[in-house]
Amino acid sequence: MIAIIDYGVGNLRSVEKAFAYIGYQAKVTAKPEDILQADKVVLPGVGAFGKAMEHLAKAGMVPVVHQMIRSGRPFLGVCLGLQLLFEESSEIFGEQECLHKGLGIFPGRVLRFPVSDLKVPQIGWNQITRVKDAPLLQGVPDGSYVYFVHSYYVLPQDPEVTLCQTSYGIDYCSGVSYQNVAAVQFHPEKSSRVGLQILKNFAEQN
Which pLDDT value is given to residue 9?
A: 75
Say whether 79 is catalytic: yes
Q: For residue 142, what are the domain limits?
A: 2-203
Report the distance separating Cα 58 and Cα 61, nearest Å: 8
Residue 91 catalytic? Answer: no
Average pLDDT over residues 136-165: 97
Task: Give the mean pLDDT of the chain.
Answer: 94
The CATH number covering residue 135 comes to 3.40.50.880
Question: Residue 150 catalytic?
Answer: no
Residues whose CB is less than 8 angstroms from the CB of residue 29 and which lie 6 or more positions away in sequence, other chains included: 3, 4, 5, 6, 35
Distance CA 87, CA 85 (A): 7
pLDDT, residue 93, reads 62
pTM, 2 dp: 0.95
Q: Active site residue: 54, 98, 187, 204, which one?
A: 187
The number of domains in the chain is 1
Q: Which of 79, 100, 150, 173 is catalytic?
A: 79
Is residue 137 scored above 70 in pLDDT? yes
Give the Cα-Cα-Cα angle 62, 67, 68 (nearest 5 degrees).
100
pLDDT digits (tens, 9 = 90+) for 163-194: 999 999 999 999 999 999 999 999 999 999 99
**CA distance linking residue 52 with residue 93, whole number of Å:** 16
pLDDT for residue 99: 87
Identify the three-state secondary structure at position 182: strand
